[in-house]
Amino acid sequence: MKNRTFVTTLIAILLLAAVIAAGLHAVFTVAYVQASFSTLTQEGEVAAQQLKEALNAYLGRSTTFLDLEEVRATAESDPRFRVVSLEKRFPSSVALEIEERQAAFAVRTGTGYALVDNEGVRIGETSSAQDYIELTGDFSVSFSDGRAEGEYMPELLAVYASFLEALGEPRANLLSVSLGSSGASARFDSLRFQTREGVEIVIWNPSDRPSDTGLAAVQKYLDLTEVQRVRGSIVVQIVSASGEVNAEYFPEN
């Protein structure tokens, strides 16, 4: 009799646990994937719709045990997008804020141009460099895991970050950037930005404090009159004796 009572009690406990587990699963299950997109292009809008469908695969998954890094990987499987924020909202939803990366540079390839954003991420392809800042000269750009690599690429991105902060959209001001290599001392290498108005911005020895030289370059550019911007050059370099950043405008190249 005692054994029968024990077995009956055990079965009752197991059934109760199963009911509780089923109830918790019903409550803590992803019923909504709230993906908010910020897109910049028509292609991005189409890709966003496709990505929304991919994210719906998480519907029905346990909210408690859902791996947010897995969700992030799915959201960023298209390099066009970056996840700005990602969180679980208990008991039944996951919320994402996703934005489209903005193309900055065009890098020549065998079939056209690769589009690269301000972080060096390859986000797409194009047949023309028009509307983008073309990388020319001695840049030897390759791609590893979807990111641009090459001599002075980190320095270029650091300089561009200063331009981006000051100008908002540097593509409206810049046509191209070339790397001039001395072939000897890195001190005589240079980044040369061709502006749409005509003036050239030259940054000597770009490995030396690129954020500072970029900021000095764009400030000097903004100080020029409309007449000055159509010709000449802005030359930026670090003064070795004092360590100061010197930016000067020369009316003639």
Closest CA to 222 of 168, 179, 186: 168
Task: Write down how long the chain is.
Answer: 253
Q: How far apart are CA 84 and CA 87, in angstroms?
A: 11
Q: With pLDDT > 70 as the criterion, what percentage of the chain qualifies?
A: 88
CA end-to-end span of the chain, whole Å?
Answer: 105
Distances from the Cα of 214 to the Cαs of 44, 118, 156, 164, in angstroms? 30, 14, 9, 10
Locus of tokens 């650091």: 158
221: which 2 tokens? 């550019």
More confident residue, 3 or 143: 143
Amino acid 242 reads S
Write out pLDDT tens, residues 45-77.
Answer: 999 999 999 999 999 998 888 999 999 999 999
Long-range contacts of residues 183-190, Cβ cutoff 8 Å, at least 24 apart: 189/152
Write out pLDDT tens, residues 211-250.
Answer: 999 999 999 999 999 999 999 999 999 998 899 999 999 9
Q: Which of 134-138, 182-186, 200-204 has the lowest mean pLDDT?
A: 182-186
Amino acid 104 reads A
Write out pLDDT tens, residues 115-167.
Answer: 999 999 999 999 999 999 999 988 889 999 999 999 899 999 999 999 999 99
Strand segments (E) across 101-207: 103-108, 113-117, 122-126, 133-137, 142-144, 147-149, 174-180, 190-195, 200-204
Pick the CATH number of 28-100 from 3.10.20, 2.20.25, 3.20.20, 3.40.50: 3.10.20
Pick the CATH number of 103-250 from 3.30.479, 1.10.3470, 3.40.50, 3.30.450: 3.40.50
User: What per-residue confidence (pLDDT) applies to 8?
Assistant: 55
Dihedral pair phi/psi, residue 151, rounded to 5°: -60, 125
Mean pLDDT of the chain: 88
Dihedral pair phi/psi, residue 83, rounded to 5°: -85, 120
Mean pLDDT, rounded, for 15-24: 42
Long-range contacts of residues 121-129, Cβ cutoff 8 Å, at least 24 apart: 121/79, 121/146, 121/147, 121/148, 122/79, 122/146, 122/147, 122/148, 123/79, 123/80, 124/43, 124/79, 124/80, 129/176
pLDDT over threshold 70, residue 24: no
User: What per-residue confidence (pLDDT) applies to 5?
Assistant: 57
Closest CA to 195 of 216, 213, 218: 218
| pTM to 2 decimal places | 0.82
Domain ranges within the chain, ordered by starting residue: 28-100, 103-250
Mean pLDDT, rounded, for 24-39: 78
Contact 174, 195 (CB under 8 A): yes
